[in-house]
């Protein structure tokens, strides 16, 4: 590149190669960059309008019951109690399935399929950093569905009350359960969704596999729960959302009639153990899958 | 300080394939050609140097850093362009290269700036905002090079960078590599099975074959005059070679070509030339060409046990 005649002289166009002497943020910076890019992918930011429909639609639908519940409370007071802190996540469980089926494959499938991973692994991160960064991105994105709506419900119930401070005193005890349950749901669902997606060769297959696991598990679990007999104890473990609901009840209390957990005779701690197996199993799948990636 | 040094480096893959077999080599900065046939162990060596693969035995250092223990630090200083396709189709070159800069540890602002710089250096302009999926092979190779260069590495590992390129694309890629080595002042290790290309850009050659070091030397030392006289005649030259040997000259025939060692057959400066002239006349042979031969890079492999897999 050279300066053309009509340009004023003295302007340098090709400044040659410039070295970089600035800061290098190492592993921490690299992981932060992957999490940031992952979050953008989860919410379709910087992508076409079409890729925003599912994530934002999901967040909107997840928030709707909380907004409606708060509106009803403002209009008619305590007469109708549609959603409680306990049954909220169970009530919107189908949205998690759709959100994960649509967004988890975005995070991992293309890097694997198009062999981008060697470019990541030839940089100052380790394989486990990559996987943890992707998990963090998906879990953080899921918090918009598993935590944010319940927090909105909480805030609405406090602020809609005539005695705000008194209401805060009444409701504040539920806060650890709301946060704990939301975080556990986010981590467990992100782990499972990512593990399933990491095994798929294409995004569509990954989405199908996620839907299959959740929908078939949900249907079979519901049938078993209604069947009576010994199968009722198996039912909550076939549907990840039911297992998580059992863990919620074990940790924070509050039974839900619609959950298969209500029909089962097993002690509640078994659901805590089931959730742990779900998460650790997913991590094991991820570890094995990414160890096998050749660079 | 050597750029790279390996000692008795051996890599056996599960299943029994030995990719590197006791390789010991010291490499100084510059543009270095790592040459060998497909499967000679070039890619395996690069991956061990990046700390991506553990060596079975032996050790390797990059900038005096042990690859077994300082992989992450080494990878900060190295830019790596793999042989295979490695680009996601649905993002633009700008987006991808800038993301890779950040994964190398650059802050967001610096990543953006250097991405713009580097894409310009590799010759990607307006198209850099379009998704990579629509790029030609040549453009994709440029993006692969750009992502290796974007964090200002001290050394580049390029694995078969001209793979899949047409002749014009090859020339441009080689010119770019030469420029990176000479103008940018970045050491470059180019792994290739194409000696003719490497010869054009590299100052130093490391030749490996079946995981062993065959030879390492400057490119110029390979292309010096050899002291061999090449004589081509218009019919089979066995009789000429026999007569030269009878005069005490080390000569051998290969079809219509005789190669004679100029240092044999007597002390005179033109002994061999005179002998060729006299014997050609005696045999009534027509001489097509007489020239002093230069070493060719292929000799490197012939001398080391000989194979003709290079071209």
Which DSSP category does B79 fall into? E
Same domain for B183 and B256, yes or no, is no
Q: Which of A17, A27, A121 comes nearest B184 by C-beta?
A: A17
Instruction: Please check whether residue B305 lies inside any domain of the structure.
Output: no
**Would the pLDDT of A170 be above 60?**
yes
CA distance A260 to A279: 20
- A261: number of CA atoms within 13 Å, CB side? 26
Same domain for B70 and B20, yes or no, is yes
Instruction: Please give the average per-residue pLDDT across A256-285, as a whole number.
Output: 94
Q: Tell me, what's the pLDDT at A6? A: 52
Q: Tell me, what's the pLDDT at B309? A: 37
Q: Cβ contact (<8 Å) for B103 and A125?
A: yes
**Would the pLDDT of B267 be above 80?**
no
- Pairwise pLDDT comparison (A244 vs B228), residue with the higher score: A244
Same domain for B133 and B244, yes or no, is no
First to last CA, chain A: 37
Taking only the tens place, the pLDDT of each residue in A11-52 is 555 668 899 999 999 899 999 999 999 999 999 998 888 889
Same domain for B216 and B230, yes or no, is no
- CB contact at 8 A, B191 and B159: yes
Same domain for B79 and B163, yes or no, is yes
Q: Tell me, what's the pLDDT at A177? A: 95
- CB contact at 8 A, B253 and B241: yes
Instruction: Please check whether residue A285 lies inside any domain of the structure.
Output: yes
- CB contact at 8 A, B33 and B52: no
**Would the pLDDT of A4 be above 80?**
no
Q: pLDDT class for B271, splitting at 50, 70, 90?
A: confident
Tell me, what CATH number does B23's domain have?
3.40.50.300
Size of interface A-B (CB pairs under 8 A): 101
**C-alpha triplet A222, A227, A232: angle, nearest 5°:** 70
Q: Which of B179, B161, B148 is nearest to A17 (CA)?
A: B179
Q: What percent of chain A has pLDDT over 90?
A: 73
Q: Tell me, what's the pLDDT at A176? A: 95
Instruction: Please give the average per-residue pLDDT across A280-292, as a whole number.
Output: 96
Structure token digits, residue A19: 């070295």
**Chain A contact for B152 (CB, 8 A cutoff):** yes
Taking only the tens place, the pLDDT of each residue in A100-153 is 999 999 999 999 999 999 999 999 999 999 999 999 999 999 999 999 999 999
Measure A193 CA to nearest chain B CA, in Å: 21
For B284, counting Cβ atoms within 10 Å of its Cβ (0-12 exposed, 13-18 middle, 19+ buried), the class is exposed
Measure B230 CA to nearest chain A CA, in Å: 46
Q: Round the average pLDDT of chain B to a whole number and report it.
A: 88
Taking only the tens place, the pLDDT of each residue in A214-260 is 999 999 999 998 887 888 999 999 999 999 999 999 999 888 888 89
**Would the pLDDT of A79 be above 70?**
no
Calculate the alpha carbon distances from A239 to A42, A208, A257 in Å: 24, 16, 16
Tell me, what CATH number does B256's domain have?
3.30.70.2470
Instruction: Please check whether residue B300 lies inside any domain of the structure.
Output: no
Structure token digits, residue B156: 């580049």
- Residues of B within 8 A of A19 (CB-CB) are 152
For B105, counting Cβ atoms within 10 Å of its Cβ (0-12 exposed, 13-18 middle, 19+ buried), the class is buried
State the DSSP string of chain A.
----TTSPTT--S--------S---HHHHHHHHHHHHHHHHHTTTTS-THHHHHHHHHHHHHHHHHHHHHHHHHHHGGG-----TTTHHHHTHHHHHHHHHHHHHHHHHHHHHTT-HHHHHTSS--HHHHHHHHHHHHHHHHHHHHTHHHHHHHHHHHHTSSSHHHHHHHHGGGHHHHHHHHHHHHHHHHHHHHHHHHT-SSHHHHHHHHHHHHHHHHHHHHHHHHH-TTHHHHHHHHSHHHHHHHHHHHHH----TTSHHHH--S-THHHHHHHHHHHHHHHHHHHHHHHT---
**Would the pLDDT of A3 be above 60?**
no
Same domain for B133 and B253, yes or no, is no
Instruction: Please check whether residue A7 lies inside any domain of the structure.
Output: no
Instruction: Please give the average per-residue pLDDT across B180-199, as a whole number.
Output: 91
Q: Tell me, what's the pLDDT at B263? A: 80
Chain A nearest-CA residue for B148: A119
Q: Cβ contact (<8 Å) for A18 and B117?
A: yes
**Chain A contact for B103 (CB, 8 A cutoff):** yes
Instruction: Please give the average per-residue pLDDT across B183-203, as a whole number.
Output: 90
Taking only the tens place, the pLDDT of each residue in B15-41 is 889 999 999 999 999 999 999 888 889
Instruction: Please check whether residue A10 lies inside any domain of the structure.
Output: no
Q: Which of A30, A37, A111 comes nearest B105 by C-beta?
A: A30
Q: pLDDT class for B264, splitting at 50, 70, 90?
A: confident
Which DSSP category does B295 fall into? P
Helix, strand, coil percent content, chain A, rounded in steps of 5: 75, 0, 25
* The domain boundary residue, chosen from B222, B254, B271: B222
Q: What percent of chain B has pLDDT over 70?
A: 93
Instruction: Please check whether residue B15 lies inside any domain of the structure.
Output: yes
Structure token digits, residue B63: 């900038």
Query: Whole domain around residue A230: which residue ranges?
Result: 30-291
Same domain for B164 and B286, yes or no, is no
Which DSSP category does A174 fall into? G
Q: Cβ contact (<8 Å) for A123 and B184?
A: no
* Cα dihedral sign, A117-A118-A120-A124: positive
Same domain for B210 and B133, yes or no, is yes
Same domain for B231 and B289, yes or no, is yes
CA distance B278 to B303: 31
Same domain for B129 and B233, yes or no, is no
Place of tokens 């000799």: B299
Q: How many domains does chain A have?
A: 1
Q: Tell me, what's the pLDDT at B304? A: 45
Instruction: Please check whether residue B284 lies inside any domain of the structure.
Output: yes
Instruction: Please check whether residue A13 lies inside any domain of the structure.
Output: no
- Residues of A within 8 A of B100 (CB-CB) are 119, 123
Same domain for B215 and B233, yes or no, is no
Same domain for B232 and B173, yes or no, is no
Instruction: Please give the average per-residue pLDDT across A190-205, as a whole number.
Output: 96
* The domain boundary residue, chosen from B222, B251, B286: B222
Q: pLDDT class for A187, splitting at 50, 70, 90?
A: very high
CA distance A290 to A120: 12
Instruction: Please check whether residue A18 lies inside any domain of the structure.
Output: no
- Residues of A within 8 A of B73 (CB-CB) are 124
Query: Whole domain around residue B257: which residue ranges?
Result: 225-294
* The domain boundary residue, chosen from B183, B204, B222: B222
- B224: number of CA atoms within 13 Å, CB side? 7
Q: Which of B48, B104, B108, B184 to mutate to test the interface with A (most CBs of A within 10 A)?
A: B104
Q: Tell me, what's the pLDDT at B291? A: 84
- CB contact at 8 A, B152 and B180: no
Q: How many domains does chain B have?
A: 2
**Would the pLDDT of B308 be above 50?**
no
Instruction: Please check whether residue B308 lies inside any domain of the structure.
Output: no
CA distance B197 to A8: 41
Q: Which of A31, A119, A131 to mutate to test the interface with B (most CBs of B within 10 A)?
A: A119
Cβ neighbours for A285, distance < 8 A, ≥ 6 positions apart = A195, A198, A199
Q: Tell me, what's the pLDDT at B306? A: 38
């Amino acid at each position: 590149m050279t300066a053309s005649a009509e340009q004023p002289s003295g302007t340098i166009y090709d400044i040659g190669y410039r070295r970089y002497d600035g800061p290098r943020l190492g592993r921490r910076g690299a992981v932060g960059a992957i999490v940031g890019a992952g979050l953008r992918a989860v919410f379709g930011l910087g992508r076409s309008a079409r890729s925003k429909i599912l994530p934002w639609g999901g967040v909107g639908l997840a928030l709707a019951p909380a907004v409606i519940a708060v509106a009803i409370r403002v209009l008619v007071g305590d007469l109708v109690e549609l959603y409680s802190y306990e049954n909220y996540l169970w009530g919107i469980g189908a949205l998690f399935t759709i959100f994960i089926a649509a967004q988890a494959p975005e995070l991992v499938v293309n890097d694997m399929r198009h062999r981008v991973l060697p470019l990541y692994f030839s940089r100052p991160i380790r394989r486990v950093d990559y996987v943890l960064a992707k998990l963090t991105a998906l879990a953080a994105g899921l918090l918009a569905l598993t935590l944010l709506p319940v927090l909105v419900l909480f805030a609405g119930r406090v602020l809609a009350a005539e005695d705000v401070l008194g209401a805060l005193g009444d409701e504040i005890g539920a806060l650890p359960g709301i946060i704990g349950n939301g975080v556990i749901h986010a981590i467990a669902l992100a782990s499972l969704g990512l593990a399933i997606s990491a095994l798929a060769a294409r995004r569509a297959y990954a989405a199908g596999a996620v839907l299959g696991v959740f929908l078939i598990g949900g249907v079979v679990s519901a049938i078993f729960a209604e069947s009576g007999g010994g199968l009722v104890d198996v039912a909550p473990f076939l549907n990840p959302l039911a297992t998580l609901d059992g863990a919620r009840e074990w940790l924070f209390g509050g039974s839900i009639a619609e959950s298969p957990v209500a029909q089962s005779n097993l002690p509640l701690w078994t659901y805590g153990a089931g959730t742990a197996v779900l998460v650790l199993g997913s991590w094991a799948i991820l570890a094995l899958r990414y160890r096998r990636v050749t660079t | 300080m050597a750029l790279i040094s390996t000692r008795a480096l051996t890599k056996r893959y599960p299943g029994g394939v030995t990719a590197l077999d006791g390789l010991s080599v010291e490499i100084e900065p510059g543009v270095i050609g790592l040459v060998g046939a497909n499967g000679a162990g070039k890619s395996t060596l690069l991956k061990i140097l990046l700390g991506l693969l553990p060596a079975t035995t032996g050790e390797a250092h990059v900038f005096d850093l042990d690859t077994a223990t300082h992989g992450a630090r080494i990878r900060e200083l190295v830019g790596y362009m793999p042989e295979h396709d490695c680009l996601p189709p649905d993002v633009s070159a700008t987006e991808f290269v800038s993301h890779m800069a950040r994964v190398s540890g650059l802050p967001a602002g610096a990543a953006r700036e250097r991405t713009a710089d580097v894409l310009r250096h590799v010759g990607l302009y307006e198209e850099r905002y379009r998704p990579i999926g629509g790029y030609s092979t040549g453009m994709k190779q440029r993006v692969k090079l750009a992502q290796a260069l974007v964090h200002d590495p001290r050394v580049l590992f390029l694995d078969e960078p001209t793979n899949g390129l047409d002749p014009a694309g090859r020339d441009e890629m080689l010119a770019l590599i030469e420029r990176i080595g000479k103008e940018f002042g970045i050491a470059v290790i180019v792994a290739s099975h194409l000696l003719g290309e490497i010869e054009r850009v590299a100052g130093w050659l490391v030749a490996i074959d079946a995981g062993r070091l065959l030879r390492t030397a400057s490119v110029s030392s390979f292309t010096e005059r050899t002291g061999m006289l090449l004589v081509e005649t218009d019919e089979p030259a066995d009789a000429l070679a026999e007569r030269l040997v009878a005069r005490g000259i080390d000569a051998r025939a290969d079809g219509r070509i005789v190669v004679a060692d100029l240092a044999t057959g007597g002390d005179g400066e033109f002994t061999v030339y005179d002998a060729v002239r006299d014997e050609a006349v005696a045999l009534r042979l027509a001489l097509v060409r007489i020239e002093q031969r230069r070493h060719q890079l292929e000799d490197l492999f012939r001398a080391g046990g000989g194979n003709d897999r290079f071209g």
